[in-house]
């Protein structure tokens, strides 16, 4: 084979290999550089009462869920009934982070659809979301007792994700 033809053939084989690897990955599993690292700390007002502040520091010693949501988010509305049902199990505190939203719209949604959150913090300008690397809403984080992010779900939580990934992880982290 001529050397001139060998380079394009090798390049083509490499391209096909990368394509095959990419097609076998789950597009919902975007690796997060925050997994295994301390959750970014913040202190912002709560949705229901802006005078009351929330900080992840107050959750130390507990396994907890941070669910980033917004009233304008269609996918958030899809996962909302599941979160409402899951919250009734009292498995762990679910903290909401209302992201780039209007306070009144968010309060209306929670009063109409049910409120799964132990509390919701209000991130109207999205600054906290930026620190957490939020791609879009909804996103959900499981944070351990020491404040380390152990799991990130991009997109709505489904019953399968809750059963197969989140629930076993919560059980494991609660035993530590």
The per-residue pLDDT for range 12-63, each reduced to its tens digit, is 887 777 777 767 665 555 567 789 999 999 999 999 999 999 999 999 999 9
pLDDT at residue 27, rounded to an integer? 55
Structure tokens belonging to residue 66: 């941070």
How many domains does the chain divide into? 1
* Residue 151 covered by a domain: yes
Provide the 10 A C-beta neighbour count for residue 81: 12
pLDDT at residue 31, rounded to an integer? 63
- The CA–CA distances, whole Å, from 38 to 56, 57, 80, 171 equal 10, 11, 27, 20
* Residue 51 covered by a domain: yes
DSSP state letter for 153: E
* Residue 14 covered by a domain: no
* Residue 5 covered by a domain: no
Name the residue with tokens 């309060």: 107
* Residue 77 covered by a domain: yes
- pTM, 2 dp: 0.83
* Residue 22 covered by a domain: no
* Residue 135 covered by a domain: yes
- pLDDT > 80? residue 104: yes
pLDDT at residue 9, rounded to an integer? 77
Domain that holds residue 170: 34-175
CATH for 81: 3.40.30.10
* Residue 61 covered by a domain: yes
């Amino acid at each position: 084979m001529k050397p001139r033809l060998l380079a394009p053939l090798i390049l083509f084989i490499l391209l096909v290999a990368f394509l095959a690897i990419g097609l076998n990955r789950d597009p919902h599993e975007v690796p997060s550089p925050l997994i295994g690292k301390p959750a970014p700390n913040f202190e912002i007002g709560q949705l229901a009462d802006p005078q009351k502040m929330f900080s992840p520091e107050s959750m130390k010693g507990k396994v907890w869920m941070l669910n980033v949501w917004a009233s304008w988010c269609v996918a958030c509305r899809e996962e909302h009934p599941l979160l409402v049902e899951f919250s009734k199990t009292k498995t762990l505190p679910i903290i909401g982070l209302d992201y780039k939203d209007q306070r009144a719209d968010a309060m209306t949604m929670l009063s109409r659809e049910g409120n799964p959150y132990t509390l919701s913090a209000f991130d109207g300008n999205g600054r906290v979301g930026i620190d957490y690397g939020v791609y879009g809403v909804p996103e959900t984080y499981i944070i351990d007792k020491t404040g380390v992010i152990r799991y990130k779900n991009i997109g709505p939580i489904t019953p399968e994700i809750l059963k197969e990934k989140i629930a076993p992880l919560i059980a494991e982290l609660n035993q530590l």
